Amino acid sequence: MPNKLKIKELEIIKDEIGPVFILETYDPKLNFTGYLVIDNLNLGVGKGGIRMTPNVSSLEIFRLARAMTFKNALAELPFGGSKAGIAVDPTLISLEKKRAIIESFSRALRPFVPKHYIAGPDINTSEREMQWFAEANGSWRSATGKPANYCMDIFGKGEKKCGIPHEFGSTGFGVVQALKVAAEFADVDIKNATAAIAGFGNVGTFAMKHLDEIGVKTVAVSDRQGTIYNPKGIDYKKLMSIKDSGKSILEYKDAKQIGREAIYELKVDVLIPAATPDVVNETNYKKVKAKIIVEGANIPMQEKYEEYFHKNGTLIVPDIIANAGGVISSYAEYRGYNPKRMFETVEAKIKKNVRTILAASKKENRSPRKVAMDIAKKRILSIKSRVL
């Protein structure tokens, strides 16, 4: 699978940005290894989710933490960049053991949380795990993405702050806001556009929901088992009914089943990689036919492939802009916003950032990522680190 490829040329980079801390934890009783990379703290406390996957590594967590550094800077949030990971296959353990692992990891990170790092949901962690993490840490501020019914009294104000779970779909919502702007630059008629969504988790499901609302026809969807394809479109409600029952999307009857990786080669207007890293890679990048790629997942491809697409006329909206809805939602929870204000903030920030970066990309004939990185670096390096 693409996300398991060994990418020899990649390594943890140590430069003027970071990383400030690279931590590895181990629990001998529960037999798991955890990782935390706090990349940069210039703009504020480190922010990034915790993923739980069997093959997660310190290199993967560093790459994700660096992406969060730039993502938070571009969204003009008072956060630095961080990421955490737990090397466990959650499908092979009980719910009780998963909770014990999350709680153990939280306790191990107490010297850094919430002083230098605030957790959030990611692959195989959700609002439930964020409540476990916060309770084990002992601080409300140790995690965002907590359940909406998990609240804290605001001392002396007679009010409550409550969680804003990522299960509200802020990331998928933001991906579609990014697409709305990108379609204008790519001269794609949004109401007659077709889309393929690679990955049908929290990001992919909500991306499809909001695509459906604006008239984009989703013709292909993939999960771990494979891809379903129907050029006439896939019914969102029927597909969600199957997913909600715990079954694979391959149970959907009104579509053809094709290989999991075949989704990247379909002729569609929009491709949304919405799951794991490096799904577009040396094996398939020349076969991608989409006019627009909106990166719903973190680091779905290396920068060199983005440069290839830019030179060949495919418009890329990089992850550090396109999928910032999740961390903007985290900021909203951190500030005590209600969900309505959260969605308004996500839409405003993402549309503004995508428009600014794509306009500069077009004017300067540079890839959107290069433009975005320059902006982010200037913001980050103009302020000294707050860690010392």
Active site residues: 83
Starting at the earlier edge strand, list the strands of the sheet with 226-229.
Answer: 256-258, 226-229, 217-223, 194-198, 270-273, 292-294, 315-317
Helices (H) and strands (E) in the chain, counts: 11, 15
Spatial contact of 218 and 249, defined as CB atoms under 8 Å apart: no
| CA separation for the pair 379, 388 (Å, rounded) | 19
Burial of 95: CB neighbours in 10 Å, binned 0-12, 13-18, 19+: exposed
Tokens of 289: 């036919």
Tokens of 223: 């999960």
| CA separation for the pair 50, 263 (Å, rounded) | 27
Which residues, other chains included, contact 285 with Cβ-Cβ below 8 Å and sequence gap of 6+?
Answer: 301, 305, 308, 309
Which residues, other chains included, contact 89 with Cβ-Cβ below 8 Å and sequence gap of 6+?
Answer: 53, 54
Size of the chain in residues: 388
Spatial contact of 199 and 296, defined as CB atoms under 8 Å apart: yes
E-strand stretches of 178-237: 194-198, 217-223, 226-229
| CA separation for the pair 37, 16 (Å, rounded) | 15
